[in-house]
Structure 1
Amino acid sequence: MNHSVFDPQAFLSTASSKPGVYRMLDEQGELLYVGKARNLKKRLASYFRKTGLSPKTEALVARIRAIDTTITANETEALLLEQSLIKASRPPYNILLRDDKSYPYVFLSQDDFPRLGLHRGTKRAKGRYFGPYPSAGAIRESLNLLQKAFKVRQCEDSYYRNRTRPCLQYQIKRCKGPCVGLVDPQEYAEDVRHSVMFLEGRSNALASELTRTMESAAENLDFERAAEVRDQIGILRRVQDQQSMDTEQGNVDIVAAAVSPGGACVHVVMVRQGRVLGSKNHFPRIGIEHTPGEVVAAFLPQYYLGGAERELPGEIIVNAVHEDLEVIAEALAVARGFGVTISHRVRGTRSRWQQLAVTNAEAALSGMLANRQNMQTRFDMLQEALGLDEMPTRLECFDISHSSGEATVASCVVFGPEGPLKSDYRRYNIEGVTAGDDYAAMRQALSRRFNKVKEGEGKLPDILLIDGGKGQMGMALEVLGELMIHDLTVVGVAKGITRKPGLETLYLNETNNELVLPGHSPALHLIQQIRDEAHRFAITGHRQRRGKTRNTSTLEGIEGVGPKRRRELLKHFGGLQELCRASAVEIAKVPGISKKLAEQIYAVLHSD
């Protein structure tokens, strides 16, 4: 465990904006607090603001030395995982419920105007009980959303019977005021019926019924009612989230490896009796040429057969194949005395577990690579590799992206010793060049960038990286020569004959001055990281520009999504906002949307 002071800014610079669970650890690596978030980055940033924290939160933040995160498909999965971790670890800064053996239920009373509530213990009261549920937190979340959707009262009977005017719940539109006769009994009964349909698991039928009601109201020009039902559909879909964390039985470990220039991460997710108990990141030392399959094959024997006695599940799911996996499975079986299956091609819930492990491995690796200490080391090594008198403090890299010459965009990304300087990133829309002429596109981008430097605007980089071979490098030198900019180190990055990572050829200041760094060189890792970031940033900008050029909506730009499927998607979720909140699994439930198309839609809706 790192005993140095925790650096929140460095951590937040690479934190994911996806939903998930975060775990705060102290100097000894002990768990302090577990929390969930719809947006991990925003939620974690709130802990490190300068003012407005409670004394308890300030005490917690003062003890933080590390934060681990687990990304989930949606907020519902985050809630379930959070509850599992709190119950298993009982962190000191979490609010802990008493350890009651009984499971909680949703209770619907038998009154003229029934109430919904959470019930635990003996079922003495007359009414209907729905459940049991895995946690009270899951029930409260569902009751809160159901109250927004159908406005069935949740107040205690003693409070309800003594009202002479409606309470705050009525004012904020969470209740229809049955206590003082502000709602028709038939209308209230319909809201109760809809709530029961959902609690009985007939949510698809309920959504279809509400969709028909919404369309009928719109046809009758009752747009206020149509909007109300649309909001009900959206809330319903949110409660309906596929809770893939807890839908299968068995003991499984999911092992996913992510490899990038500069390192690797293996993320292990532990599932016992069908419940995700937790996960952990491992950062093995590897050479740059290793594949995820090779990393997995090297990790498994060390993890399960090493010094630590680890529980071995009946199945291990991996994200990459290797020829040694069969032998490893046999060795694990011999060592532990029972058969072990190592799976790669999985479906359903197991596939979602696998994808979540991959997502978390990639996110953790990204955070590790952006660590200030690692970045400082790579800058030092780059100075040594290029023979510079001083350590560079500003690196800029240019890349070009287009589709058959359409909507060409040049990107410029900037890195310093502390990592990416995203506020200095720039994109250039390329105009007036022949389609597909990357040299002319690079000339235009560099001219626009360094003309500003000649005019006294912007900073001059210490090193200019050009993604391309001798041609692009020559173009960059020509532009800099025309602008009389000579005190600048220029490095061209060519992929080499095999085009494999780790075998790049570098050109230093001249097209005939080749420099080949070993695959394990931290300097090469840094160059590759910046080059990959420039490529990503250029592609994102190109896609955005292409979408604007075609003047299409978000859904219209997706291949395979025509007018009929767009209508089905918007009807199913009640609008684009709720569709954007849905996971790929939920999108695949829409009639006519395959799993592959759902993943494509999800990717487009969540692209940067």
Structure 2
Amino acid sequence: MAAKDHLQDQIRQLPHRPGVYKYFDVTDTIIYVGKAIDLRKRVSSYFTKQDHNKKTQQLVKNIHRIEFTIVDSESDAFLLENNLIKQHQPKYNILLKDGKTYPYLLLTNERFPRLIPTRNKKPGDGHYYGPYANVTGMNLLLELIRSLYPLRTCTYNLSPQNVEAGKFKVCLEYHLGNCKGPCEGLQDEDTYNQYIQQIRQILNGDLRLPKQYFREKMMQAAQEQQYELAHQFKQKLDKLDEFQAKSTIVNASLSNIDVFSIASNEKSAFINYLKVMNGSIILTQSVEVQKKLDEPDDEILTSMIMQMREEFESQSKEILTNVPVPTLPLPSVTVTQPQIGDKRKLLELSLKNVLYLRKEKESMNDRSKDLNEVRIMETIKKDLRLTELPKHIECFDNSNFQGDNPVAAMVCFRNARPSKKDYRHYHIKTVVGPNDFDSMYEVVSRRYRRLVDEGASLPQLVIVDGGKGQLSMAVKALKDLNLWGQIAVIGIAKRLEEIYVPNDPLPLYIDKKSESLRLFQRMRDEVHRFGITFHRSRRDAATLKTELTDVKGLGPITADKLLTKFKSVKKIKELSEPELVAEVGKAKARILLEYFSQNE
């Protein structure tokens, strides 16, 4: 794919250095951002490679201007690319955009801190835990903590001066036993801060300190024969055990690990992220991203690792992936693909999640397509007043050029989708000259006589491209085959919205926005394409054969032999004299070489 002249000049000026390049369209909007170890090689590859997919070809067509930035290393290029993509959100770059604001748990930095859920993160308010991908999971954790520790929920300023001055009174939470009344000085600050220390441990995914605390309190109360109090501590300990049992537990030695896996299909990539802390999976998130340029899995996963780690504020120093990824610009972070052991089991769990998501999405798309197709067929049935749902539709068209090489084509749609294995071409055999009516009679007769002979299923609807004349010949063909009444048939006039039905001189007008009309348009375009392609190939073959048979001393058998093997006169002309002699002998080779030299 050749670059435009002004782009060629820009490409020649690019350095052989690492950096980031930006593509702009004619409106001077950034449409793509990329990184490269060698800027000139990478950018020029867009315009020199011939095997780009359609999406990349479309990108290249829209490139009007190029900008670049030189950096010191590949890691710097990666970071700059990531920031530019987030800033400009170019059309052809993959970007995780799920529109969600994930919630946090905020442990406030005031005296007698509160634990509150929030989606607004404000620096200086306290320590934020999260974000949490699952709101239900976050609420369960908050409920657990509030059931274990008597935290205040009021927004009073509990400064020593305000408490000593008696500015506040205990509320209903105190009387329900959910708060110990620090607002009236009924709870000492040291005990409250012990609770906060244990809450921090729980929020970090470590239950060892809280469990140890409640176990010791339970044993102490039992020794002091305060059995009711001991039972209360036992209940709290049981709640921690129950919560831990509900968590996915892995090897306790595995701490602070990110696990990423990817699986993709032609249109989308699916990524799963697991966050492991202190032997437990504390976060899991699966996402789907639409491919923009048929990017490979490793490139997509690399981008998603950076985006999701930033989204969920991960500081993990170890990342597990199911595919190798390029070196990430993350200092002191290792990326591996474990093959055995507990880390491999973690990776397999992540992959299981991502494969399930892919299967679910593909199944949803299939169901959506099926429902869409049923709706289209129901609309056709209603618009044409058919007695059956048109699950099988066939459309015919004739093609000729000034009466030469008359052919016909038929396309078949099953369940409102093209069934290309059922498409058919026809050489017109019984009609001389450009007679569309008789040609239509011939191909319809041949098609359905064969289906009847083979015992194959018949379509519910036949469409002929043409007006009342072509329609009447199709009806005649069906009647002659004793199929009239078994197959509905319509004709489509040049103005697509005019549908002709048998025995009605006036056309049926269908709403231009109708899905019936859109499907008929698609079928007519498809049968035109299919028929014209076949007609051109026949006409070209006939033209080539005529050119060779015009050569005096060269018969039709020799012409057929050469064209069958070499496909075109151009390729025959490129043969050397020894090669021609090997094909047709010395005498005919000499005749051909003399003819070609005279007609260059």
Greater Rg, structure 1 or structure 2?
2
In which range does the TM-score fall when normalised by the shorter chain? 0.3 to 0.5
Alignment TM-score, normalising by the size of structure 2: 0.35
Q: What TM-score results when the alignment is normalised by the length of structure 1?
A: 0.34
RCO comparison, higher one (Cα < 8 Å, 6+) = 1
